[in-house]
Amino acid sequence: MENKSSVLGKGLSAIFTDKNVDISITENEINEPKRPSSEIPVGKIIVNPLQPREDFDEEKLHELAESIRLKGLIQPITVKRSGEDYMLISGERRLRAVKLLGRQNIAAYLFEMTEDTNDNLLELALIENIQREDLNPMELSDSYNKLAAEYNLTQEQIAERVSKQRSTVANFLRLQRLPVEIKVSLRRNEITEAHARMLLRVDNLEDQITLWKRVVNENITVKNLEEMTKKDTKETRKKKPALGEIYDPYIQKIEDKLRNYFGTKVKIVKKTKFSGEIIIEYFSNDDLERITDKADL
């Protein structure tokens, strides 16, 4: 395991030993430490506009609010001054939960920043989120992508800032290649990150969507999905023929109709100008029975 002390001083980074702690270590770029926590008015707190987290589960927020009501706020939020108000750096879920309770004040650490820039605000918000163990994989991917796209950071630089392996950052960034429908599904926890990685093995967009629908509707396991996508992985290693050799608009249209009807991979192979074969794939006995029922056999 990487020595945690070795990553300090390498750009903006923070190491957390407890998933409930938002920011526990800062580096030399921020000269002033956090002041002891104090109560500040909820109405004077401005939510960080660069906060990468977009989805907040309402049921879990109410559970957190009830926990705060019974046991109090164990971990204060972290803010910085913004004129006469305060900008939230970390702890938006706790702030929302306290608002649900109708409380006027909340315990907060005041964070002093020497460089009040969007880059610092974004990185602090990203680190607060990225280091949390319960963060959605798609939110992590979006956070890494934001650093890469808007601040021109390489994968190595991102990994350095958030104290992760470069390969970990690369794997999360690959999720950006998913179709919008599958990204939303992953964000909603309808599929797992492992499912998403298996779907990325399929090059054809429509095949991806078809398989994703089956994963959601039929509760296909990651192991079964791995078997279903294994052929695509092997085929990508082979030399692909020129587009003119494989693309026939009429054949493609028929394939699409059959694929949508049977809910599985269908391929039409032309042997001569007027003959060929239709290959309908199945991946289990239940799959075969479902296909034959569709075919009314």
Half-sphere exposure of 52 (CA within 13 A, CB side): 28
pTM, to two decimals: 0.52
- What are the pLDDT digits (tens) for 235-248? 555 444 443 344 56
pLDDT in tens, 193-216: 999 999 999 988 888 999 999 999
Segment 81-102, tens digit of pLDDT: 888 999 888 788 899 999 999 9
Q: Transcribe 89-158 into DSSP letters.
A: EE-HHHHHHHHHTT-SEEEEEEPP-SS--HHHHHHHHHHHHHT-TT--HHHHHHHHHHHHHHH---HHHH
Which residue in this structure is represented by tokens 């996508």?
229
pLDDT at 195: 95
Which pLDDT score, from 0 to 100, does residue 126 have? Answer: 61
- Give the H or E element holding residue 36: strand 35-41
pLDDT mean over 166-193: 92
pLDDT of 30:
33
- Give the residue numbers annotated as catalytic, written as ranges: 92
Q: Residue 175: what pLDDT? A: 95
**pLDDT tens track for 42-77:** 999 998 765 656 667 788 889 989 999 998 988 888
**Mean pLDDT value of segment 287-297:** 79
Phi, psi of 159 (to 5 degrees): -60, -40
Residue 102 has a pLDDT of 94
Does 281 have pLDDT greater than 90? no
pLDDT > 70 fraction of the chain, expressed in percent and rounded? 71
Q: Is the pLDDT of residue 15 over 50?
A: no
Q: CA–CA separation, 135 vs 200, rounded Å?
A: 21
- The yes-or-no verdict on residue 157 having pLDDT over 70 is yes
pLDDT at 34 over 80: no
Task: Please state, as a whole number, how many other Cβ atoms lie within 10 Å of the Cβ of residue 64.
Answer: 20
Tell me the mean pLDDT in the region 18-27: 32
